[in-house]
Amino acid sequence: MEENVIKELDTLMNMVRNWKKNYAGWVTPNGENEYVIKEFLDEIDMHINPYMQRLYACEYITQSESNEFMNECYGHVNELRDLIKEVETKQQPKKGIHA
């Protein structure tokens, strides 16, 4: 893979990380956060996926490299999902004998 392509992929991944950080700020403890995941997925599907398809079509990357990159992007979605679960769980009232 050419150095300029590597730099582009690094830039794209930084965008995904920044999006995740931004969407993490939207998370509330009320349990109604599924829209946050949907918005984040939409960003990736609308902006990153077509770009990766184009890089592959122009033979700048292989299918395997494209798949690996997209899997990393979707891994960030899973990390955001885990964060949402953590935030929502911390806000659940604790069950005990007095609850």
SS3 state at 55: helix
- pLDDT, average across residues 60-87: 96
Residue 25 within any structural domain of the chain = no
Domain count for the chain, please give it.
1
| Residue 70 binned pLDDT confidence (cut-offs 50, 70, 90) | very high
pTM of the complete model: 0.85
* Biggest CA-to-CA distance, the chain: 64
pLDDT of 30: 85
pLDDT of 49: 96
Residue 18 within any structural domain of the chain = no
pLDDT of 89: 86
Q: Show the domain range for 48.
A: 33-86
Is 6's pLDDT higher than 60?
yes
pLDDT of 90: 81
Residue 74 within any structural domain of the chain = yes
